[in-house]
Amino acid sequence: MKDSVFYRKHTLNIRGKLLSLEIPVVMGILNVTPDSFYAETRISSEKDLIEKAAKMLEEEAGILDIGGYSSRPGASDITEEEEIKRVVPAIQQLVSHFPGIIISVDTFRSNVAKQAVEAGASIINDISAGELDTKMFETVASLKVPYIAMHMKGTPQNMVHQTQYENLLLEITNYFYNKLFKLHSLGITDIIIDPGFGFSKTREQSLHLLNNLEIFKTIEAPLLVGISRKSLIYKTLNTDSGNALNGTTALNTMAILKGASILRVHDVKEAVEIVKLTSEMQKGLSDNNQA
């Protein structure tokens, strides 16, 4: 049975074509960085990039998310020029090999976002929701592309020390209401929200956030969840990111059932299977309720 109380946008305008989110979409992660926390997604060459992208697309990824700036806790800062040098040629190569591909660029810098979209990216994925670059919102408005706004306090370099909240859920919800008001005032309507698991949040806070994910149904925007192989999983299981797939699958299943529209993952095949199974299950529940 469809939720009759809260409205949530179920399409994104991707360069004039509508991408449906009625069935959740899987976003595959491609990192053109030498120090991303999960080594398997690091890209070492053009051949490696194309092979990894081809595999993800074959496994039915709807979006590929490419980033040239590592935002893992403690990662080194890099210049804007270096980020552009990593990201823009990679996007051009992907667009050339896979016409019609939907690429999101993972950046908090407006100039990187602009050049990435000009190279063929269709979505901007900003971990700072405009906090680290005051020109980001006006850039998104001028580019007319969907925008992913994530919750984070501080910077990737100091966010581990920015975990103090009086009321975690209320503060994050209010953060998004304020962001959406500003974005809508600029004419930006294709907005996705990302609670930012692991970003300026402890393991316990991230798990609490996931357990209460339904709170974001009050916000009129699709919800992206990015928990793939993160420390909230592998530290809970006393293992490492390389052995966190099973835990990722378990929590991604919970995220879908609690309303996620996009799963950002390292392992596309397993995430697509989650989407297919939960969609069939929910379809069965809906049919029974209407009978």
Task: Report CA-CA distances (Å) from 238 to 2, 205, 225.
Answer: 39, 18, 22
What the block records as the tokens of 115 is 């050049």
Tokens of 229: 């192989």
Is residue 42 part of the annotated active site? The answer reads: no
Catalytic residue among 86, 182, 230, 283: 230
Q: How many CB atoms lie within 10 A of CB 77?
A: 10
For this structure, is 86 an active site residue?
A: no
Catalytic annotation, pick one of 2, 85, 264, 276 = 264
Give the C-alpha separation, 180 to 256, whole Å.
23
DSSP for residue 235? T
SS3 state at 34: coil
- Paired tokens of 196: 């930012």
- 50 Cβ partners below 8 Å, 6+ apart? 93, 94, 97
Q: Which residues are tagged catalytic?
A: 230, 264
